[in-house]
Amino acid sequence: MDAVLQPALADRTGIGDFRPVAPALTSGLSFECFAPGAALRPYVQCYWRARGVNVGGPASVEHLHPDGAAGLLFNFGAALERDGERVYGACWIDGPKRRTARLAVGGALDLLGVRFLPGMAFPFLGESLSALAGGELTPADSLHRLELEALYERLLETPALAGRIALLENYLTEGLQRHGAPEVSALMASLAWLQRRQGQASIAALVAALPFGQRRLERLFQQHVGLSPKRYARLLRVAHSRKLIKQGGATISLTDTAFATGYFDQAHFIHDFKAVTGLTPGGYREHVRRRGYGRA
């Protein structure tokens, strides 16, 4: 399974009937995600739940690919093992990742989360996303004003999934009403511009299309995305190349994939791909082959 939560979800249902938008079951992992209500759709990708399934044998490892987005994470199971290290606690802010994280999946895994759209977490977190970016989970108690520990206790007392999602929806809606939605049309336009081009255009070309300079663009991205425009564009580019590798399998050469994603030399393609995923393109293709399409 490609455990990244994509920026857009097809056929959003809202949370009224709590039907999964994109359920998936991989070896050892049960994963579901649910669309938010209409008021939160400009900000929230989805609510999601991931649970371990006892299938025997050692724990599997799922790849959590970066997409430039942040989220909230609540743990109702055993301590997490992420990137080979144990992570203890009940709730965290999952800031924008610069590279793929690896989550060990055992039978005791039980996670619930909120995934924001890229650039849309700031109204809810009230913190510059640059302070939360990287690969580490930020403990909820480091941002006391969010009262995430109290929210966790309420979630713990509400075992039904529908009730838990309703609590998350109410928490975020109240936060948006309390703090108001900031005017970030310039940021949204810039994100959309890069997304339409799948990261394959220069930042200079983006700046030329904007009514302000690169310095303001950099400030907007650092505050609301937590990544520079160039780094975000690279995540989009690598995500597109991963998609092409999965679709093409062994029938499409990696050189053709590099050209299709705007790379003019193999060395640059391999460098960017490995910097984000930790694997070479060839290593990723082999990983996809072993796991099966759509599960990498």
Q: pLDDT averaged over the chain?
A: 88
Is 4 domain-assigned? no
Confidence of residue 276 (pLDDT cuts 50, 70, 90): very high
Question: What are 41-85's pLDDT values in tens digits?
Answer: 999 999 999 999 766 666 688 999 999 999 999 999 999 999 999
Question: What are 204-247's pLDDT values in tens digits?
Answer: 999 999 999 999 999 999 999 999 999 999 999 999 999 999 99
The answer to whether 173 touches 129, Cβ cutoff 8 Å, is: no
Q: Cα separation of 22 and 294, whole Å? A: 12
Single out the residue in 158, 179, 200 at which a domain terminates.
179
- Determine how β-strand 137-139 pairs with β-strand 60-64: unpaired
For residue 288, count other CB atoms closer than 10 A to its CB: 21
What pLDDT shows up at residue 5? 35
Single out the residue in 135, 163, 179 at which a domain terminates.
179
- Residue 214, domain CATH: 1.10.10.60
* 152 lies in the same domain as 69: yes
CA 156 to chain centre: 24
Above 50 in pLDDT, residue 8? no
Q: Which residues pair with 72 in a beta bridge?
A: 93, 114
Question: What are 75-123's pLDDT values in tens digits?
Answer: 999 999 999 999 999 999 999 999 999 999 988 999 999 999 999 999 8
Single out the residue in 140, 164, 179 at which a domain terminates.
179
Question: 76: domain range?
Answer: 24-179
* 108 lies in the same domain as 153: yes
